Structure 1
């Protein structure tokens, strides 16, 4: 893969990541509530799902998944329901008095939240299957190019998620009392907003 093609790919991915989606909103919420270190487990879950989606695209499973509208719908609405549940739970937890200390989410739970949120967007497999061929030279071996594109995307996504999480964690450390409770409520609202965004994502391009 030539350097100019790789740079074009990086620029394309930057444009695609310029607006926050469900995973970024979840990262904001979890990092604000649990701190950046624990929030990174949410990012790890998201990136794990992305890797599996890329692998599925690379193995040619995208076409099979795209033809199963029922499976896509079930996966998507499971993720939407899960995010709404998490958001409502966090908003209710914010009602606790300042004298009570709400337990932080476990690392496993944070990882699972990130994984499910990303995996609940089954169109991502189709997206990767459509994106990668634009930058792959058919005259060169496929898998080395695929590895470069996949690793570049994961590194960039990880950097974006860390930046979101770091900003949310920094703000949370400087808020106390009622302001902190409102931050928790906003975090829960972010989760619900993430669910709405995920629900609005069309599973198939319009004709």
Structure 2
């Protein structure tokens, strides 16, 4: 790939990574409730899923998902149901759930939440496939190029994680107390419910 290709890919990938999707909403919520450091570490849970998507794109799993309507629909509904469930759980959380006892929440539970949110989103696989495709030089082996693009995209994803976790931590400092954090939780919960419902009715994105 040429330097010109990378000059176009890097800012485009960063813009994509900064999109306020379900995982970034979680990072901001965790930042508000548990602080910057905890939110950043918890967000690492999304990277195994995204790395698997990159590998899948490299070996052609994205193309399989794009052509198999049944597989896509099943995975889409599972992911949508999880997001709605998580959003409703946040919406129903009472003041007691948002007290200083939040500091005792296991970090592993937050990491697992990030992972499940990422891995149950079939559109993420297709986004990787469709987004990488225009930057692949057809004159060179595709798999190696996709892996290189994926590595850079994952590095930029971490920058996005830091930004969202930091923004969430700032919001948390402003919204001090259970009432303020309750508002953050309800807004985040509503965002996840909307994301889940949107995913449920979404069609497969074009991959060409």
TM-score range for the pair, normalised by the shorter chain length:
0.7 to 0.9
In structure 2, what is the equivalent of residue 84 of structure 1?
84
SS in 2 for 1:7: helix
Distance 1:128 1:184 in 2: 29
Q: Which residue of 2 aligns with 1:136?
A: 136
CA contact (8 A) 2:91 2:186 kept: yes
Contact between 1:29 and 1:188, CA under 8 Å: does it hold in 2? no
Q: 1:66 to 1:133 in 2, by over 3 A?
A: closer
The answer as to whether partners of 2:34 and 2:102 remain within 8 angstroms in 1 is: no
Aligned to 1:124: 124
Query: Normalising by the residue count of structure 2, what TM-score does the alignment of the two structures yield?
Result: 0.83
SS in 1 for 2:20: coil
Root-mean-square deviation (Å) = 2.6
Cα distance 1:201–1:99, how it changes in 2: closer, same or farther (>3 A)? closer
Structure 2 partner of 1:165: 165
How much does 1:125 deviate? 2.3
Shift in CA distance, 99/68, structure 1 to aligned 2, threshold 3 Å? closer
Query: Residues 119 and 92 of structure 1: is their aligned pair in 2 closer, same or farther, counting only changes over 3 Å?
Result: same
| Corresponding residue of 2:94 | 94
**1:138-172 deviations in Å (ceiling 9; x for gaps):** 33454443332111111112211220111111221
Query: Which residue is equivalent to 2:180?
Result: 179
Name the counterpart of 1:64.
64
The unaligned stretches of length 5 or more in structure 1 are none
Aligned residues: 205
Unmatched 5+ stretches in structure 2: none
- Structure (1 or 2) with the greater helix fraction: 2
TM-score normalised by the chain length of structure 1: 0.83
